[in-house]
Structure 1
Amino acid sequence: MTKSERETAVNRRSLLAAGALIGAVGVSTAPAAAAAPASASAASGRYARGMAVLRQVSGDRGAEVVESLSDIAPDLGRYIVEFAYGDVYARPGLDLKQRQLVTIGALAAQGDTAPQLRFHLDAALHVGLSPVEVVEALIHVVPFAGFPRALNAVTVARQVFADRGIAFQPPVQTDEQDRYERGVRKLVEVDGQHGLDVIESLRDIAPDLGRYVVEFAFGDVYHRPWLTLPQRQLVTIGALTASGDTAPQLRVHLGAALRVGLSRGQVVEALIHVVPYAGFPRVLNAVTVARGVFEEQRG
């Protein structure tokens, strides 16, 4: 093996070791021809459509990742292009900015996806989300996945901003209203009376937990003005669906998504979008929850 061949092999292994593939993560550019697998599928409509959408999302950064799999799992690279981007991302119903909000929620909530999150935070900026919206989406994950995962995700965002040369000036919440009162107002706006019923149900066993939900989740986080409520619910759907064991909470928040202006089609589309990041079982379970929410509303 020549020195050049050894360096190429090392580079490929480095990409794989970094976990750069899930979510079609890439770290550098490559020409389009390098990304096409050496099979008849390369010319398929799904592959061409997927590569076009991948470039819309990330520029040229995904191509080298697909090529890096050619010596070990070329079909995996093809599936990323054909399924994740040619099938899922290419679907109508959500635009690319909305899809990246769902993706950020799903990846940040899982907590062990730093390379993929780095790729998709960069992609979020590429498709038009602002740095403030990106950070706000990560803050929004805290009530659903906890501080450690949000802190890790913010560290990744700092790296992405540095790579892009973004001089970020973060906004700071300065609202001096009573946190509980503003939390109740926001809770009712998002969840309606059902949200208050959930808080009341905690009174006999953990009243302080109910108070924290109102004050922190809604009085602090949901009250922040840097994402709209539909945007917040897209992040929430991504986070809860990817977590996989949150059916009661997902039921509440799918209903809330409809309440704040997302359509049933957009809700289902957000669930389908999670498949490449968290798998079919969790999304199938979430769709079952959505069916129940829709039937309840029809009744």
Structure 2
Amino acid sequence: MDRVEKSKEKYNQLFGDGVPAAYATDPDFQDILSRFIFGEVFYQGNLDDKQRELITLVVLATNQTLPQLKAHVGAALNVGLTPIEIKEAVYQCAPYIGFPKTLNAISEINEVFKSKNIVLPIESQKQVEENNRFDKGLAVQMEIFGDVITKMHEGAPSNQKHIQEYLSSFCFGDFYTRFGLDLKTREMLTLCIVSALGSAEGQVKSHVQGNLNVGNDKETLITAITHSLPYMGFPRTLNALNCINEVIPKN
């Protein structure tokens, strides 16, 4: 199939047999969009459609492009993602984009779920309690980043040690420890989230290394960032690829 045929087949798989509304007003633009995203990008690299839709959801949540997020929640269900996986992917955004934007995204997800008679709230995926969230979060943090975490805790100024504690207990304890998504998936999604922010190159590089440490290879990371391209644009994509190439200089 050429990219035109591929785009039609992929679009129907994701969204059904309907025609995008933009064809009524901006058919040229919609052709460019559909053929690039669904005829090219979706076929580049080594990720499956479930992984691609998870990436799409977190980048759209990061950018707060909520109408498109809502459409892709339906697409995510159509390719076989569970409500738990969808929710966990968007929950994973909270430490990086903040609670208000994450709540906006969750509201869109809930609307789709209600329209499809998916009962809310969904089953809890929590694994930590008040007395162990720091320790469990620190353990995950160490698994991803290694001994550098100990140095970060020890080297933090006394008036900023609470930030390192928040990272361990909140970011990694409250979120990374949850069921629903495995560690490799969470770390890949985090790389896409911080790449979409556009001004966090230090964190992008850290999470490139973190991805390597949990078993995601360079090809996977390049594919993940390539899949993010239509949603975050070339400047942020090129910055992320530069970070990947700097951390992993060989092929």
TM-score higher than 0.5: yes
Measured in 1, the distance between the counterparts of 2:153 and 2:177 equals: 18
Q: Which residue of 2 aligns with 1:127?
A: 79
Question: What one-letter code is carried by the residue in structure 1 that aligns with 2:16?
Answer: G
Q: Which residue of 2 aligns with 1:94?
A: 47
Residue from 116, 127, 149 that aligns with 1:195: 149
Q: Which residue of 2 aligns with 1:155?
A: 107
Instruction: Tell whether the 8 Å contact from 1:103 to 1:238 is kept in structure 2 after alignment.
Output: no
Alignment of 1:251-270 (within 5 A): 251-270=205-224
**Structure whose CA Rg is larger:** 1
Q: Which residue of 1 aligns with 2:243?
A: 289
Match status 1:106 vs 2:63: no
Structure 2, gaps ≥5 residues long? none
Identity of aligned residues (%): 32
Alignment of 1:234-273 (within 5 A): 234-273=188-227
Measured in 2, the distance between the counterparts of 1:99 and 1:227 equals: 14
RMSD: 1.7
Q: Which residue of 1 aligns with 2:180?
A: 226
Give the secondary structure class of the aligned counterpart of 2:38. Answer: helix
Report which structure shows greater RCO (CA 8 Å, sep ≥6): 2
Regions of 4+ moved over 6 Å: none
Measured in 2, the distance between the counterparts of 1:197 and 1:286 equals: 26
- Residue 58 of structure 1 deviates from its aligned partner by 2.3
Question: What one-letter code is carried by the residue in structure 2 that aligns with 1:212?
Answer: Y
1:229-284 deviation per Cα after TM superposition (whole angstroms, max 9, x unaligned): 11112221221111111100111111111211212101000011111101001000
Structure 1, gaps ≥5 residues long? 1-43
Instruction: Tell whether the 8 Å contact from 1:117 to 1:156 is kept in structure 2 after alignment.
Output: yes
- Residue 228 of structure 1 deviates from its aligned partner by 0.3
TM-score, normalising length from structure 1? 0.78
Residue from 133, 152, 167 that aligns with 1:179: 133
Question: What one-letter code is carried by the residue in structure 2 that aligns with 1:59?
Answer: G
Instruction: Tell whether the 8 Å contact from 1:57 to 1:96 is kept in structure 2 after alignment.
Output: no
Alignment of 1:196-211 (within 5 A): 196-211=150-165
- Residue 48 of structure 1 deviates from its aligned partner by 0.9
Measured in 2, the distance between the counterparts of 1:189 and 1:78 equals: 44
Residue from 51, 69, 94 that aligns with 1:142: 94
Larger deviation, residues 131-140 vs 235-244: 235-244
Aligned residues: 248
Measured in 1, the distance between the counterparts of 2:92 and 2:23 equals: 38
Give the secondary structure class of the aligned counterpart of 1:280. Answer: helix
Instruction: Tell whether the 8 Å contact from 2:128 to 2:174 is kept in structure 1 after alignment.
Output: no
Larger deviation, residues 235-244 vs 169-178: 169-178
Question: What one-letter code is carried by the residue in structure 2 that aligns with 1:75?
Answer: D
Q: Which residue of 1 aligns with 2:17?
A: 60
Q: CA 1:87–1:188 in 2, change beyond 3 Å: closer, same or farther?
A: same
Q: CA 1:214–1:86 in 2, change beyond 3 Å: closer, same or farther?
A: same
Give the secondary structure class of the aligned counterpart of 2:205. Answer: helix
Question: What one-letter code is carried by the residue in structure 2 that aligns with 1:83?
Answer: F
Measured in 1, the distance between the counterparts of 2:60 and 2:110 equals: 16
